[in-house]
Structure formats: C-alpha cells, structure tokens
Structure 1
C-alpha cells in the first residue's frame, strides 16, 4: 500500500474527483504538437502553441479533474484552467536523441521540482522510455535517474507521477504485429520494476498492456491475442503493482480509448483513471491553425467537450478509487 503524507494526499485530492478517480487532460505535448501543425503545411510558432494550449485549458478543464501541462509553453494555460482543476507539470525535455542508444532521459535545464511547485504544480510528471530487455547498463542509468527524481519530489513533499512508455531497442515500429506480441511482457515488467520503493513513485501513468488493434474482435486484420489472452494481460498488469495507476491514450481515437477502458474493467483491471491527451483534443488543431481562435474554440466547445464528457462517463463506470490503495501518514 502506498504511504502518503497529508500534504501529498491533499495534492492528490486536488488532482482527482471526490470519488478518488483521475480524469485528467494531458496537453504537455511539445514535439508532437509541432508535428501536427507542420502536417498542415504551417511552420508552428511558440505563440500558436501557447495559444492552443491556453484555449484547450480554458474550454475543457471545467470537465476534467486536472490538467497536465509543460512549463515551456503551458504556463498561460495553467492560469486559464478552471478553479477546481488540479495541475500537473512535466519535468522532462521533449523527445529523445535518436542518435544515442537507449533513449536516455533528460530534465528541463531551467527547472527544478521546487520551481515547478512554485508555479502551482500539485504534482510532477516525468516521462521515461524503457525497454526491459535493453542493455543492463542503460537500464541501470534509468533506474538511478528515476531514484534521483523520486527523492527530489519526496524532499518537496509533492506527488511524483511517472509516465512509462515501452519500446523495443531492436524494433523501431511500435505499431507492428511483431511489437504487439512482445508488448504485454514489456509493459507489465516495466510497471513491476518502477513500483519498487526506491523510486518513490506515487502514481504510474502507463500504456494498456496490449495493442488493441491486434486483439480478436477489435482487429481488422491479423491478431496477436485472443480476447481471453488480452484480458489476462490486463489482469496481470494490475497484479504487477500496488501503486495507483492511470492509462494514457497513446493518440488512439476517443472511441477506441473508451472501448479499451471498458475491456480493462471487464478483465478485472484496477486502474484508477486516465491522463488523456490527443484522443480528446487532436482534431481541434486543424480548425485552430487554419481558421483561427474562434473556429478552434467552437470545435472544443462541441466535439472536444463531447469527447471528454463521453470519456468521463466511461471512467465513472470503469475506474477504481485510488483511495483504496493509499495510507495517510503523519
């Protein structure tokens, strides 16, 4: 069971619904958001990125328990959020150096946990790429790095949300059938590792353990798992950790993400909510960039709101309360 100080518990409450589930909106994307804008044949500016994040925050945080932002472009959006929405701030540099083996992590050079907390953060989020089968020396560096992060968050008495993204160092195509076959073990072993107490993680933000596009009944072509096998992987994921954990949307459609949460619930998953990004707002980028703020706002007020309210309804039916996984200490 996770032990939380009273201050950490209060911060966790600010990020969650009263029932203890997390229905958080993620728009800490930097490189990915720039790519979306470039795909429209527009060279993104810092102002455009700031303005879009601020608009998303303003329009959608009334329906979210919290929002995840980055301090590079997201601080105006943090100020624009609804008064009842908690704030997570990202601490990692976006992307990784593809020329260097290991997808090694790095921090934003101008920030510390203390400075992020001073900006109003209720929790710190860090993204770590991890392959359980990679060179042990590379993974040792990631272990030690995460221990430092956990200690820094513990010193500031602020929750540490660790986002884990699996990969295969020998296969760059995470969308392939070959990767789908090895993904469950990689995701679940990774969760087991970073649930160890030396990392001082409070919440794990993780992928679902399968690629739903290769699950029998969801797949349009080849399959990697039967429904029963996929369900077993979801159950094993919950058994891999005693920590609260939430799912990321990984850029899939809003509809598929909602179906995935229902599947997870039916499989016996004890997940505690979501930190959902592109599945909620990505289709709003095009009207905002091509037609301006009013068009972007209209999309967010209609389709964006529909996406997040639909997701909230599914979370209420499927997510478990993290209250059952914590103990408050003095």
Structure 2
C-alpha cells in the first residue's frame, strides 16, 4: 500500500469525490490546443485565444468535475474561475518533446518549481514522461534520475506527485499502428512497474489503457490484434503491475469509446481509481469557439460538453475503484 502524509491525503481528497474516485478534467494542452484553435479561426487568436478557451472550459465544466488539470503558462487564469469544490492539478513539464533528439527526454518549465506551483494554488503536481521500457539503458537511467528529482521536490513540499506516462517504441514512431498495438501492453505495464518503485515517490500514476481499443475484437473496424479475452487479461495484468493509485487518460479518443473502455476495464478486473479526461470531453467545442466566438463555445460546453462529462461521471460511478483502498 501507499503511505501518505496527512497533507498529501488531504490534497488527494480535494481532487476526488467523497468515495475516493478522481473524475478530473484535463486541459493542460498548449501547442496542440493552439493549433486546434488556429485551424478553425479566421483570425490569429494567439495566446489570448488559448487562455480564454481554458477559462470558459474551467468555468462551464468544473462544476461537474472533481478537479481540473491546467498548465502554468496559459492556465492559471482558468484556475481562478473553477468551481469552488474542484481541486487543482498543475503541469510541471514543457509541452511536447524535441523530435530532433534521441529518447524523447523530459524537460521542466524553467520558470517554475514545485514550491512555486504549490504557492500558485496547486493541490498536486503533474509531470508527463515519454517512456519506452525497452529503450537504451543510458536514456532510461536519465529518465529515472529525473523522476527521482521531481519526486523528491514533491516530498519536500509535501504535495502529491501525479506521473503521467505515455509509452512509445523507439524502433517504431507510429503509435497508432498494428505493430505498436502488439507491444503496447508490455510497454504500459512495464512502465507502471518501474515508476511504482519507492524511490520515485509517485502518489498517482496517470496512464494509458494497456491496449489500443481500435484493435480489440468487436471494438475496431479493422483487423483485430487482440481477442476480447486477451485484451481483458492485459487490463488485469496492468492493474496488478502497481500497488499505488492509478487513473486513465483518454488519449484523445471519442467520449463514447472512452466510456466503453472504462466498462471493459471494470469487467476485466481493473481497479483503476478514476480518470483525467481532456479532449474526449471538450475537443469538439474548439471549432465553434474558434469560428463563431466565445458564446458559441459556451453554448457547446453547456450542452454537449456538459453531457459528455455527466455521461463519463455516470460510467465512473459504476466502474472506478476507490483509492482509499490503496493507501494508508
């Protein structure tokens, strides 16, 4: 079980519902969100547009979320308009990675520290790490040391450390391919085993589901890589790969597929503890905001966006396990 200090436990409770389930809204996207807004806009909205979109998402949707994940570069104004009952996670990493360098190495926001994020109101700190368990040892050792440093910072400030892991294959850049789908389960579970070790001081893992659901028999339109039975076994194996709380990210899939995935995870015996769901909830609201203005964006969020998050909450109430059972 995970040992929590009194302050860390109180912070996790602020990020969760009364049952110990995390139903968090993620909008810490930066470069990708700028591109989404710019592609739908006749005007160059720039920084002002991304800041404003985050604000209206926070204003309209946090009444239905247990917490919100934002970035300190564009998201802190949105933190101020969130619902009073919603906790705050703040990202600590630079957006994206240097595609010209080998290893997708991690990089911190230079103007920030865990102390400064905490002083800005964060209940927890999130860091995104790209990780291939089978990559060159020198690269992975670098990443291990980096995560130890961040974990130590969080221990010093007595604030929860959420580690988001995106897996990849150093020998195959196409993470949507059949070939990557075949190796993904071992990549995901291997990463979770590594970063559940005590030296990293991770309190919650934010992870992908262990399979690409588009390649699961009966879920995708193309050729199946996994039968339902094999996919279920991978969900169970993933759950058993860690003793600490873990939550799922939506990875940009549709709201409907993400909800079906959570049901599949529960039926497979997964003891996941909630979600940090972003684009699956608000992605289609970018276009009306960018093309028709703020009110059109609000109208979409008040109808379809609200519907997406309420439907997700209903599924969570039936599928997610309490993190209370994994800590002491």
TM range (shorter): over 0.9
Q: Equivalent residue for 2:21?
A: 21
Note the residue ranges of structure 1 that are not aligned, 5 or more in a row: none
Give the deviation of 1:35 after TM superposition: 2.1
Deviation at 1:41, TM superposition (A): 5.6
| 3-state SS of paired residue (1:304) | helix
2:221 match: secondary structure: coil
Query: What is the 5 A alignment of 1:73-152?
Result: 73-152=74-153
Aligned partner of residue 3 in structure 2, secondary structure: strand
Distance in 1, matches of 2:29 and 2:142, equals: 25
Structure 1 position 44, deviation (Å): 4.3
Q: What residue in structure 2 maps to residue 49 of structure 1? A: 50
How far residue 213 of structure 1 moved from its aligned partner, in angstroms, is: 0.1
Secondary structure of the residue that 1:4 maps to in structure 2?
coil
SS of aligned partner of 1:2 = coil
Q: CA deviation at 1:235?
A: 0.1
Tell me which residue corresponds to 2:73: 72
**Mapping of 1:1-330 within 5 angstroms?**
1-40=1-40, 43-327=44-328
Deviations 1:293-320 (A, max 9, x none): 1000000000000000000000000000
Q: CA deviation at 1:32?
A: 1.3
Q: What does the per-residue CA deviation read over 1:225-255, in whole Å, with 9 as the maximum and x for residues that have no partner?
A: 0000000000000110000000000000000
Which digits, 9 at most, give the CA deviation of each residue in 1:164-184, with x for residues without a partner? 000011111100001000000
2 CA distance for matches of 1:326 and 1:88?
20
Q: What CA deviation, in whole Å up to 9, does each residue of 1:260-308 have, x standing for no partner?
A: 0000000000000000000000000000010001000000000000000
- Structure 2: tracts of 5 or more residues without a match: none
The CA deviation at 1:36 is 1.2
Paired residue total: 327
Q: Is the 8 A contact 2:181 2:212 kept in 1?
A: yes
* Secondary structure of 2:165 counterpart: strand
TM-score, normalised to structure 2, is: 0.99
- Hey, what's the Cα distance between the residues in 1 that align with 2:153 and 2:232? 37
Alpha-carbon distance in 2 for matches of 1:315, 1:61: 16
> Hey, what's the Cα distance between the residues in 1 that align with 2:189 and 2:213?
16
Deviation sequence 1:131-163 (CA, Å, 0-9, x none): 011111000000000000000000000000000
Instruction: Give per-residue Cα distances to partners, 1:195-241, cap 9 Å, x unaligned.
Output: 00000000000000000000001021111100000000000001100
Secondary structure of residue in 2 paired with 1:3: coil
Counterpart Cα distance in 1 of 2:45 and 2:310: 29
3-state SS of 1:178 partner: helix
- CA RMSD in angstroms comes to 0.7
Task: Tell me the TM-score normalised to structure 1 length.
Answer: 0.98
Which moved further from structure 2: 39-48 or 297-306?
Answer: 39-48
